Structure 1
């Protein structure tokens, strides 16, 4: 029996683990001796940020919730490590799977390796080159102690090879977040409420902002939103507000009639909006992947990206954090001159199957 502990903790993780759990369950049902234990660290404990993702994506109830949310990054990392160590001692697996680049990824990989348990990192090898991002620190530390890397791109493979990772530990499988996207497209549903009822397909924008460079400075945040509202013409801008951004918006009293600030949305609702939007303005990494595959123009307010394939083969453009940089790309977008999705290798909805097949091959 291959026993696997799968770790999740924050919203970006949920879309990545759902197809992996299903692929393990499918193998189990066909007689393969494989089993998983799902550990939720509790990093995101808000219902909108956690609970309804499990329901909508058919993720089973976690076997345990470590309830390690809240506090500073250091406090949260420590709380996760203490609780996860107890979990692994009580339920020792053959392999711990961590996904993405959140605090839970870092904390749980360290604990597993200290207990001499193999770690597999799904989405290993991606790099932004920006050490001011907590996620970049998480990626580098996790990858420095990982046993098996399940990668989303050839670029990620090259990053790992360049630091001496043996080729036989790098497994190019594609992107499990795209597995989730492709398998749920027919289930996307329009959000309900007056903020959404009058939206017309391709006649509104979706905006997300949460990175400190964009939202922590009052002047920067106001200038950014002013530039977005000027550049988007008469179109409504739907802005699901991250909790940290909401606090800063309250301070500066932003009020534009076309800016519709809403609570964080569920997976199926948010991606319905993206799929039918004129374009997306974001500083997120994951949204650039989803927008690219759905062939929706995506403008990213960052100086770098850990997902360069969304720029070279997708619909994403990096424009930096200067608000004045929005003018030219939005003009091109309105003229219909945006690039189209060219297709990214192995982003085909079968990544989780490849991961589980490889695990069975290694651990049987």
Structure 2
């Protein structure tokens, strides 16, 4: 157990370095972009002297490392600062936007995983058969079509032509689950289809390979049915790579809903990030990036722990 704890502590230390590197690069790249938040606040009619004076008052003319160090200390204390554009707490804005993004992620990933399990199991029952070819074709289309193409196509087919769902907008869960799902399903479907393309290929290949293993042949020789072989004997070991990719997918989705939220005008982290970048709101952008980076590395650590719990062989190797 001590060796396992040291292994996890090492992973946590590397994860902290990743967060620092990501936030440093983000703030440095935003520094290189033309314009400043002072020019956004004062408007196009402001003189360079007025912009420089406001930058000085807000501390944006100080050395980069000094400002980053102060921001990092505040971050460790749970203070993400106050937006100089809106005057609102960055943490408060994130708390307001995060439930929308999380709901889209949960709905989208649930849809993608459900479709992956169904098509993957059907394909593994008869590799090369009709179900296998249909699933492969579906995953190929999902992989080939980017979000900025899939979103408008889905909006046109499902919302404009069929009229089943609204194109844009949002309704909080507090105002009714039915209305909330009407607005959430279309962007969530777009998110889920993009993830399905990756997950389906992986599960299908691992299931087919696992079904050819010796222990499966032994179980088949004992008269175990094909359905039981797939669901009880093959699915668990074949799901380990899927578990890893799903963890990475969740981390990527946390920062990857920007396009989908912008397309459907969904008030989540993606919309907040897009607006903050346009306004040169470095404080808000840094807070969002820090949250995404922390979420990504925490999810990856959780995947490592889940690996140990699911597969005893990994637990033995980690403890040795």
Q: TM bucket by the smaller chain?
A: under 0.3
Find the structure with the greater CA-based Rg: 2
Bigger relative contact order (CA 8 A; separation at least 6): 2
Q: Kindly indicate which of the two structures has a greater share of residues assigned to helix.
A: 2
Q: Structure 2-normalised TM-score?
A: 0.23
When normalised by structure 1's length, the TM-score is 0.21
Q: Which has the higher strand share?
A: 1
